[in-house]
Structure 1
């Protein structure tokens, strides 16, 4: 049997591997730093002089930062609205965008005009003030429905064009065969187009879900009630504003050495908000390359 030749590494290979390793370290290290910081004790951080001394292991060990984080009552309402907007908003948004993309992928009157209209909105928008006036006129101020109905989550032109291009790769003979068998446009869409478009729909769904989960600006400007704001706004108060809620969360500890520092609580809060959406990614990662590449084949 022929002897397999060992691959000869070139200078580019070494440079490429080194760059990728450094990139992975730059991505993983901040997460490791937050974990170590959130589990460090007040005494351990004080002995080190600064939280920057937390490198790859905690300075002492205590889970009290997570306990203090979950003692704040607003956390649960924030999680409730964040999860609801992510689930409902993703389903509603992907459904409407898929329907629009399916229509644009077919031979319809004024197809190029409609396509231009969607492309135009990608570069020119009404701006913040007109959008705020529109939301106010619709009665959505301080209303949780604003998380789902406010632009651009429910209708994103870029995602529509990606889905349209993917639908255009599906042979039209499948639609014609379905119609010959008596299937309506709705049945053709749900029983033929959607199952064949799994990679594209999964990719767009993840993008929309991540956008909903990370969104905080719409909650900040459209919602005034603290009990209706999403978790990202509340974390922003912990991380940036250092509001009185952070101080109140440390009440109830008998031993002051066990009281977590402000930095530990903030690190725990950031980690807790990251975990749910990070856990979803591995299940949809395999659809990324196929969904995006096939969605960019046709113009």
Structure 2
């Protein structure tokens, strides 16, 4: 075992201190949002944002959770995140593995076709007509999943990772009689957990924050995802603020700021808790695509 010198220990200690200070610096804005969301609107207008609620209040959260609409939206968002991420990972990994195998015929042409979609697309009008009229998916929960199932960018990242895996592993399995599906799901994917965790996190964040598609295709209130519902709440609050400013109601302060802070805590809370479970894979997954395939 190599004994560290005093200068090495001091330098390592300095790095630890700097990282700790930087971590606290990054957490301060988030903690300020959480603390201020439990404050009253009047205290924020008077004292500004703070790191500890001076006038503790739950009015913002009561406004958000006043009925079961928010819980239903949570259920919709959770469903599209879990199901959408799972389906996207299966489709993305299957296509990425096929394009990483050099023996696949026309793989370069297929890869160019996928890449072409990153540069050119039909636009919003064409997409709306295709999804709502010809595919008839409007006002269904699948309209929030199926059109976003495959990301060309994520597919190429995963393909490059698969291409960096030694080909002898798959060749040995084929000699033993394994088919491509067995090789993918039983050999390639288990040794690609860093890449799968990273791409899965990208997909999960995309599905969790989905609101624009709901605004275009969803009219049924029971199918509103969480982010779109929050957006509608904020729009209604802006309208209330405008009305209260014109009417000038005495002693009435619309909870605009506190509701914005509370909605931030409500929407990012569950997805933030996902990071600790993926942390051990995420550091390695940052190198996804770094090796040219």
1:21-47 deviation per Cα after TM superposition (whole angstroms, max 9, x unaligned): 8975664333223222221135544xx
Secondary structure of the corresponding residue to residue 273 of structure 2: helix
Moved more, 60-69 or 162-171: 60-69
Contact preservation (8 Å) 2:240, 2:254: no
- Return the alpha-carbon distance in structure 1 between the equivalents of residues 21 and 236 of structure 2: 33
1:120 aligned residue: 116
Task: Please report the RMSD computed on the Cα atoms of aligned residues, expressed in angstroms.
Answer: 3.1
Offset of residue 69 of structure 1: 1.9
Offset of residue 149 of structure 1: 0.7
- Return the alpha-carbon distance in structure 1 between the equivalents of residues 240 and 290 of structure 2: 47
1:280 aligned residue: 274
Taking structure 1 as the reference length, the TM-score comes to 0.82
Secondary structure of the corresponding residue to residue 145 of structure 1: helix
Contact preservation (8 Å) 1:142, 1:225: yes
Asked if 1:297 corresponds to 2:291, the answer is yes
Secondary structure of the corresponding residue to residue 274 of structure 2: helix
1:265 aligned residue: 259
Offset of residue 243 of structure 1: 6.8
Offset of residue 60 of structure 1: 1.3
2:145 aligned residue: 148
Offset of residue 284 of structure 1: 1.1
Taking structure 2 as the reference length, the TM-score comes to 0.84
**Residues 9 and 240 of structure 1: CA distance in aligned 2, closer, same or farther (over 3 Å):** farther
Contact preservation (8 Å) 2:96, 2:155: yes
- Return the alpha-carbon distance in structure 2 between the equivalents of residues 117 and 2 of structure 1: 56
1:201 aligned residue: 196
Segments of structure 2 that go 5 or more residues without pairing to the other structure are 242-250
2:51 aligned residue: 56
Aligned residues: 279
Contact preservation (8 Å) 1:210, 1:277: yes
Segments of structure 1 that go 5 or more residues without pairing to the other structure are 247-255
Secondary structure of the corresponding residue to residue 71 of structure 1: coil
2:86 aligned residue: 91
**Residues 2 and 198 of structure 1: CA distance in aligned 2, closer, same or farther (over 3 Å):** closer
Q: Spell out the pairing of 1:13-32 with structure 2 (5 A cutoff).
A: 27-32=26-31
**Residues 132 and 20 of structure 1: CA distance in aligned 2, closer, same or farther (over 3 Å):** farther
**Residues 260 and 170 of structure 1: CA distance in aligned 2, closer, same or farther (over 3 Å):** same
- Return the alpha-carbon distance in structure 2 between the equivalents of residues 127 and 186 of structure 1: 35
Moved more, 68-77 or 235-244: 235-244
Secondary structure of the corresponding residue to residue 197 of structure 1: helix
Asked if 1:111 corresponds to 2:112, the answer is no
- Return the alpha-carbon distance in structure 1 between the equivalents of residues 30 and 46 of structure 2: 14
1:135 aligned residue: 131
**Residues 243 and 44 of structure 1: CA distance in aligned 2, closer, same or farther (over 3 Å):** closer
- Return the alpha-carbon distance in structure 2 between the equivalents of residues 156 and 277 of structure 1: 20
Offset of residue 238 of structure 1: 2.4
1:169-228 deviation per Cα after TM superposition (whole angstroms, max 9, x unaligned): 222222122122222221111111111111111110011001110111011111112221
- Return the alpha-carbon distance in structure 2 between the equivalents of residues 182 and 287 of structure 1: 31
